[in-house]
Amino acid sequence: MRMKFGILNSPETESNDEKGLLQGTNNCEEVSRSDPDLTLQEELELTISSACNVICPSPSRANSLESIIKKEITLYESGGSMGKYLTFTYNSSKGIPPTSVEAERAFSAAGYIASKIRCSLADDTLDMLSFLCL
């Protein structure tokens, strides 16, 4: 089925540069155009509905990804190089910090604010002071 995308020009336009037709082909031949007098709107709706009705069976992505990663691990352990998915997993886990310095710093600042002298501070006040210290 051939899909047409056109630029609609008004009758006042006389320039050949502004008149044009952009044509593209679609490899989907399931839907045939039976009526050559379809409007552009009807043809577009027919094409969209035919594209929505096509269901492509896909393999279980999680199962295939798991088997690919297991193969890459086996290859790497036998002395080969790291594959695409194994490299991505390695780089992702390498970026996670082993300690949470920011959280420790926040608790330390809260410890300075909520001392024995200031033990009667409300929770909201303590939250605001902790926020301002950081």
Per-residue pLDDT of the chain (134 residues; tens, 9 = 90+): 444 444 444 444 444 443 443 334 444 444 444 567 788 888 888 888 777 665 555 556 656 878 888 888 888 888 888 888 888 888 887 776 667 777 777 777 777 777 766 677 787 887 787 777 66
Whole-number Å distance between alpha carbons of 13 and 91: 58
pLDDT score at 4: 46
Smallest Cα–Cα separation from 28: which of 7, 2, 4?
Answer: 2
pLDDT at 115: 73
Query: For the whole prediction, is pTM greater than 0.85?
Result: no
- Tell me which residue of 35, 36, 27, 34 sits closest to 54, measured CA to CA: 27
CA–CA distance, 134 with 10 (Å, rounded to integer): 63
What pLDDT does 62 receive? 58
How far apart, in whole angstroms, are the C-alpha atoms of residue 66 and residue 77?
16
pLDDT of residue 54: 57
Q: What is the pLDDT of residue 95?
A: 73
Token output for 68: 């690919």
Using CA atoms, how far apart are residues 127 and 134, in angstroms rounded to an integer? 11
Predicted pLDDT of residue 1 = 44
